[in-house]
C-alpha cells in the first residue's frame, strides 16, 4: 500500500481539479448570461382591437409582458383594458406605485383584496409595470 501512495502522481488530481473548476466557471457564466438576456428580452404585441398599420406594435419588457398576463388573469374582468367597467378606469389615474400596492392588498369598495398567496410581491410589481405602460400609452 505504501508503494502505491508514493507512486501516485499528484499532478494528475490537481490538473483534473483545475479543469473541473474551469468547466464549472464556464457553465456558471453561460447560465448567468442567459438570465441577463432574459431580463433584456422584449416582446412585441399587436393590439387586436386596433389597426396594426396605424398604431403599430407595442414593445414590452419581460416584466411588462408578465404583468400583462397577470393583469388579464386577475384585473381585466373589472378593469377591461384599464378602462372603467365594474371597477374604475386605471388609465386616467396618476397615482404612486405604493398606493396601487396598498389598494390591491387591502381592497376597498367593490375591489377585492389579493393576498400574497394569490398575487406575490414580484407579480404585483409586474402588474404595476404593465398598468404604468397602459397609462403612458393613453397619454400619448
Domain check: are 10 and 77 in the same one? no
Please state, in angstroms and rounded to a whole number, the distance separating the CA atoms of residues 131 and 71: 8
What's the whole-number mean pLDDT along residues 40-54? 53
Backbone φ/ψ region at 50: left (φ over 0), alpha (ψ -120 to 50), beta:
beta
Domain check: are 79 and 129 in the same one? yes
Domain check: are 73 and 115 in the same one? yes
Residue matched to cell numbers 409582458:
65
Domain check: are 33 and 82 in the same one? no
Average pLDDT, the chain: 75
Please state, in angstroms and rounded to a whole number, the distance separating the CA atoms of residues 115 and 62: 23
What's the whole-number mean pLDDT along residues 35-43? 55
- Asked whether the beta carbons of 67 and 134 are under 8 A apart, the reply is no
Domain check: are 25 and 46 in the same one? no
Please state, in angstroms and rounded to a whole number, the distance separating the CA atoms of residues 131 and 40: 19
pLDDT tier, 50 (very low <50, low <70, confident <90, very high otherwise): very low
Q: 88 pLDDT exceeds 50?
A: yes
pLDDT tier, 108 (very low <50, low <70, confident <90, very high otherwise): confident
Selected residue with higher pLDDT from 84 and 40: 84
Which structural domain range is residue 76 located in? 42-139
Domain check: are 36 and 46 in the same one? no
What pLDDT, on a 0 to 100 scale, did the predictor assign at position 139? Answer: 67
pLDDT tier, 135 (very low <50, low <70, confident <90, very high otherwise): confident
Question: Looking at the 3D structure of the chain, how many domains does it have?
Answer: 2
Domain check: are 119 and 59 in the same one? yes
Locate all alpha helices (DSSP H) within the chain, ordered by sequence. Answer: 2-7, 11-40, 52-55, 62-74, 97-106, 121-139
For residue 75, the tally of other CB atoms under 10 A from its CB is 21
Domain check: are 46 and 107 in the same one? yes
Domain check: are 107 and 118 in the same one? yes
Q: What predicted TM-score, i.e. pTM, was given to this entire model?
A: 0.63
Amino acid at each position: 500500500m505504501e508503494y502505491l501512495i508514493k507512486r501516485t502522481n499528484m499532478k494528475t488530481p490537481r490538473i483534473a481539479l483545475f479543469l473541473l473548476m474551469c468547466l464549472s466557471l464556464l457553465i456558471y457564466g453561460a447560465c448567468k448570461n442567459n438570465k441577463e438576456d432574459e431580463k433584456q428580452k422584449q416582446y412585441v404585441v399587436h393590439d387586436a382591437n386596433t389597426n396594426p398599420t396605424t398604431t403599430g406594435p407595442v414593445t414590452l419588457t419581460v416584466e411588462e409582458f408578465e404583468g400583462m398576463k397577470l393583469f388579464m388573469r386577475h384585473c381585466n374582468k373589472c378593469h377591461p383594458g384599464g378602462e372603467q367597467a365594474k371597477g374604475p378606469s386605471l388609465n386616467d389615474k396618476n397615482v404612486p406605485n405604493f398606493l396601487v400596492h396598498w389598494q390591491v392588498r387591502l381592497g376597498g369598495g367593490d375591489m377585492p383584496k389579493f393576498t400574497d398567496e394569490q398575487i406575490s410581491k414580484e407579480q404585483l410589481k409586474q402588474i404595476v409595470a404593465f398598468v404604468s405602460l397602459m397609462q403612458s400609452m393613453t397619454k400619448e
